Amino acid sequence: MIPELLNDQKSYFKTGQTLSITHRKTLLKALLNQLVAREQDITDALYNDFKKPEFESVLTETAIVIQDLKHTIKKLNKWAKPKRVCPALLNFPSSDYLYAEPYGSVLVIAPWNYPYQLAIAPLVGAIAAGNTVVLKPSELTPHTSALISDIIKTVFKPEHVTVVEGGVDTSTKLLEQHWDYIFFTGSVNVGKIVAKAAAVNLTPTTLELGGKNPCIIDDTANIKLAAKRIIWGKFVNAGQTCIAPDYILIHHSKKDAFYKAMKHEVELAYSTTPQQSKDFARIINLKNFERLSKMLTNQNCIIGGQTDADTLYIAPTVIDNPTLDSEVMKDEIFGPILPVISYQNDSKLETIILSYNKPLSLYVFGSNSAKAKQLIQKFSFGGGCINDTIVHFANHRLPFGGVGNSGLGAYHGHYTFDTFSHKKGVVKKANWLDIPVRYAPYNGKLDLVRKVLNWL
């Protein structure tokens, strides 16, 4: 089935029907209408999959996609128009252009943690760029995946966009095919598998992965405000967010005040009984629940620590000074557990942060702007914030993506269109003048050419 589907899409692409800007915008508008009309269905599906609060579903999933679609429709003509660039003097007289052309058949593999937004957002960019798409949503969120499939069927021909549902076997079969581009969002380990499969056919890829994201709180930070913003950024979606703060590095003089502020903010957000709160999501499945529960073993939980396997609940948890070789500090946590490590000098910051691969995000809290900028410039990471967490994701003018182990490539807004477009450079030479110096015979011309090159 999958090879036949890919052949159908390649044949459809060759007809040129995906290339019309007007047709692309018509389909994107139809998709927008469907997504707006079915927003309640989408938030219901997300709740059924892992008890995601409706507010979080709108804020972090449906609203982002709707804004992205509207922005793409508005800007598509400008993005797709050939861009004139300054020509090289050596090519005088000429006009030079950049043409954006679609790659062709694109595979998008979406994750489970934001199963709607991280499926539809890259799809929008791929369609806007003129590609055909096979979208593989996560099997761990069956309600959301089925709804996405139903919506796509109402808007697109299957030879243009198709949703393929299934588990690991399905993903494996998809990766065995020869795609023109692959866009993957997920774990580092699976990202390496995707990269290896893509390398067989030299297929270009975007890999949106993760990492152990540090959050630095220095001795000048506004602790109350930092606690509030960190609580939200860490525990939204029950901590199952690739750009969530993974661990805190706090100046030793601020730790006690921070713990007090954190306890207050957790109770404000989720009450003294977070398990009863309607504003706190659940862990996606038992496998991840058990993985996270092991991280709590023999730890000093200043806040939380309670678990319930029957409902896949893990309380918003703050751990005091875990050792670097403990389970909670080995890899990305991806859950509602926040380790806090105190430091006395900046050398410890550098030692800890550099002991991990380059993270997807980094956060700094402090009133000393020069110090914050120094830290931002000192470490390599995908993107981040000063005095806040995760909000850099919301700006479509900023590219979103990792570096090194945390990812390859970036998207959002115009960057998504660029991701799914090959930039084709074209030189248009004029005929009214033809400078003969470049033509053979070359005798006596080298000195002149060297003088010209040195002058340029």
Q: Check whether 456 has a pLDDT greater than 80.
A: no
Give the span between the Cα atoms of 213 and 357, in whole angstroms: 10
**CATH among 3.30.43.10, 3.40.309.10, 1.10.510.10, 1.20.120.420 for 214-394:** 3.40.309.10
**CA distances (Å), origin 34, targets 116, 119, 412:** 14, 15, 21
Banded pLDDT at 405 (limits 50, 70, 90)? very high
Q: Note the pLDDT of residue 261.
A: 98
User: How wide is the angle at C-alpha 48 spanned by C-alphas 133 and 166, nearest 5°?
Assistant: 35
The answer to whether the CB of 306 falls within 8 A of the CB of 275 is: yes
The answer to whether the CB of 183 falls within 8 A of the CB of 198 is: no
What is the rounded average pLDDT for all residues in the chain? 96
- Per-residue pLDDT, averaged over 396-418, amounts to 97
426, burial (CB in 10 Å: exposed 0-12, middle 13-18, buried 19+): exposed
Q: Check whether 372 has a pLDDT greater than 90.
A: yes
- Per-residue pLDDT, averaged over 187-206, amounts to 97
- Per-residue pLDDT, averaged over 260-269, amounts to 98
**Closest to 49 in 3D by CA, of 146, 124, 177:** 146
**Closest to 42 in 3D by CA, of 162, 160, 137:** 137
**CA distances (Å), origin 51, targets 59, 146, 211, 276, 279:** 15, 17, 25, 12, 9
Tokens read off for 397 = 């003018």
Q: Note the pLDDT of residue 214.
A: 98
What's CA 2's distance to the chain center, in Å?
Answer: 26
Q: Note the pLDDT of residue 89.
A: 86
Write out the catalytic residue numbers. Answer: 208, 242
Question: Buried (b) or exposed (e) across 113-143, using 16+ Cβ within 10 A?
Answer: bbbbbbbbbbbbbbbbbbbbbbbbbbebbeb
Give the span between the Cα atoms of 327 and 332, in whole angstroms: 10
pLDDT of 40-85, one tens digit each?
999 999 999 999 999 999 999 999 999 999 999 999 999 999 999 9
Banded pLDDT at 455 (limits 50, 70, 90)? confident
Q: Check whether 301 has a pLDDT greater than 90.
A: yes
Q: Check whether 453 has a pLDDT greater than 90.
A: no
Give the bridge partners for 248, in sequence order.
215, 340
Give the span between the Cα atoms of 227 and 217, in whole angstroms: 10
Give the span between the Cα atoms of 55 and 45, in whole angstroms: 14
Q: Please report, for the chain, the start and end positions of each structural domain, with discontinuous segments joined by +.
A: 2-209+404-423, 214-394
What's CA 210's distance to the chain center, in Å?
Answer: 9
The answer to whether the CB of 266 falls within 8 A of the CB of 232 is: no
pLDDT of 137-183, one tens digit each?
999 999 999 999 999 999 999 999 999 999 999 999 999 999 999 99
> What amino acid is encoded at 361 in this protein?
S
**CA distances (Å), origin 157, targets 126, 164, 178:** 15, 14, 21
Q: Note the pLDDT of residue 452.
A: 84
CATH class of 2-209+404-423: alpha beta
Banded pLDDT at 271 (limits 50, 70, 90)? very high
Give the span between the Cα atoms of 224 and 252, in whole angstroms: 16
Q: Check whether 231 has a pLDDT greater than 80.
A: yes
**CA distances (Å), origin 248, targets 8, 172, 206, 297:** 50, 37, 29, 19
